[in-house]
Amino acid sequence: MKRIFTALFALLLVTSAFANAPVKEKEKEGSVKDEIKAYIQHHLKDSHDFYLGSYKEDGKKHYLGYVGLPIIIWDNGLNIFSSAKFKHGKAVVQKGSNFYKLYHGKIYKTDAAGTITYDDSHHPVNEKPLDLSITKSVLTMLLTALFMFFLFRSLARSYSKNGNIAAGIGRFFEPIILYVRDDIAIPNIGKKHHGRYMSFLLTVFFFIWFLNLLGLTPLGINVTGNIAVTFGLALITFLLTNLTANKNYWAHIFWMPGVPVLMKIALIPIELLGVIIKPFSLLIRLYANMQAGHIVLMSLIGLMFIFNNWLGTSLSFALAFAISIIELLVALLQAYIFTMLSALYFGFAVEEHHDEAH
């Protein structure tokens, strides 16, 4: 415990040292705020490259641990090259007779000079090729999927070798798997049908949890804060719910039993709207919570460099540390909520009809 407090105190001293760098002019303070705001916005967005951090020296920006990711674009043919050729958007890449430029995270066709033209709203009007690139978020999801495959494959092997007894790291994950089955799947779906959905529920729970935890690391990964990712997860839940639903589920949407005919006609559009709202609430809840958590945490870290004194820096560090602990719980909670609601929707889809006599 003493070592932990010593490490935290050392981190506080290092952070304070950076925060107490001399700021002589008000304009420089404004530039620091702008730089922090730009860094937060960059962290929240996906990107075509990956690096651990950056710093400025002699007016130039240097990147630590930079890795160029594969650029895959379709433009009258397949073009593949490394994102390092863009040099962080400063260079134009030529492929055949076409020129491409990376501008604000998107790839545009341009000329040899890298000209970007704008409309009246200052939006680029250059043609964009079909971008199939392996971005930072895509790479993170692929690595997470591989990690889960080998992790739970080893867990399954330990079961078969040790007489259905988990070994090694499987002893940590076994209670969680049983919890998902016994406290999420069975109560919401039922013993008869829960087995059909267990593979998805376990996959989505651990997938979201691991991605949320990676988002809290200094690697600058914000996968679940990307609405396209949460949309994809919610879409799978939507498809599974409606493609596996029984006739009782559809009867309660299009022709509710025990309801007057005129009321049935009035309720049909409302029930159909509810079918769409359910997955929409899934994607918005996960996206908004993780996005907000990243913004708050990084804003508190940025305040250390804005306050420029021991009191403000120390308070910002303490708040950032407290929020980080809370975010660890939120990472697990959001995975739980997404899995719980998915199981609830599956339960609605396979619920069997109970007549009045029964």
What's the mean pLDDT in 92-109? 89
* Residue 80 near residue 70 (C-beta atoms within 8 A): yes
Confidence of residue 187 (pLDDT cuts 50, 70, 90): very high
User: How many other CB atoms are found less than 10 A from the CB of residue 171?
Assistant: 12
Question: What pLDDT, on the 0 to 100 scale, is given for residue 272?
Answer: 85
Nearest to 95 by CA among 79, 112, 74: 79
3-state secondary structure of 136: helix
Question: What pLDDT, on the 0 to 100 scale, is given for residue 354?
Answer: 58
Question: What pLDDT, on the 0 to 100 scale, is given for residue 123?
Answer: 87
Q: Where are the domains of the chain?
A: 67-134, 137-350
Nearest to 213 by CA among 203, 224, 199: 224
CA contacts within 13 A on the Cβ side of 206: 20
What's the mean pLDDT in 304-317? 80
Residue type, 235: L
Question: What pLDDT, on the 0 to 100 scale, is given for residue 25?
Answer: 40
Q: Provide the Cα torsion 318, 319, 323, 324; round to 10°.
A: -30
Confidence of residue 342 (pLDDT cuts 50, 70, 90): very high
Q: Mean pLDDT over all residues of the chain?
A: 82
Tokens of 111: 């000329």
Tell whether the model's pLDDT for residue 210 goes beyond 90. Answer: yes
Between these two residues, 66 and 27, which has the higher pLDDT value? Answer: 66
Going by their DSSP bridges, the two strands 67-68 and 70-74 should be labelled as unpaired
Confidence of residue 30 (pLDDT cuts 50, 70, 90): low
Tell whether the model's pLDDT for residue 316 goes beyond 90. Answer: no
Tokens of 110: 């341009």
Tell whether the model's pLDDT for residue 308 goes beyond 90. Answer: no
Which residues sit opposite 78 in a β-bridge? 74
Task: Please state, for a pLDDT cut of 70, what percent of the chain lies above it.
Answer: 90
Question: Which range is least confidently modeled, 163-167, 211-215, 231-235?
Answer: 163-167
Residues 6+ apart with CB under 8 A from 99: 92, 93, 109, 110, 111, 112, 114
240-286 pLDDT, tens digit each:
999 998 888 887 788 777 777 787 787 888 888 888 898 899 999 99
Question: Which range is least confidently modeled, 148-152, 191-195, 348-352?
Answer: 348-352
What's the mean pLDDT in 317-321? 87
> Residue with structure tokens 């600058």?
220
Between these two residues, 2 and 186, which has the higher pLDDT value? Answer: 186
Question: What pLDDT, on the 0 to 100 scale, is given for residue 156?
Answer: 83
Question: What pLDDT, on the 0 to 100 scale, is given for residue 353?
Answer: 64
Question: What pLDDT, on the 0 to 100 scale, is given for residue 39?
Answer: 76
> Residue with structure tokens 């929707």?
345
DSSP state of 159: H
Q: Is the pTM here over 0.85, yes or no? A: no
What are the angstrom distances between the C-alpha of 62 and each of 9, 18, 49, 65, 298? 28, 17, 14, 10, 21
What's the mean pLDDT in 135-146? 93
Tell whether the model's pLDDT for residue 236 goes beyond 90. Answer: yes
Q: Mean pLDDT highest for which of 27-36, 227-236, 258-267, 292-301?
A: 227-236
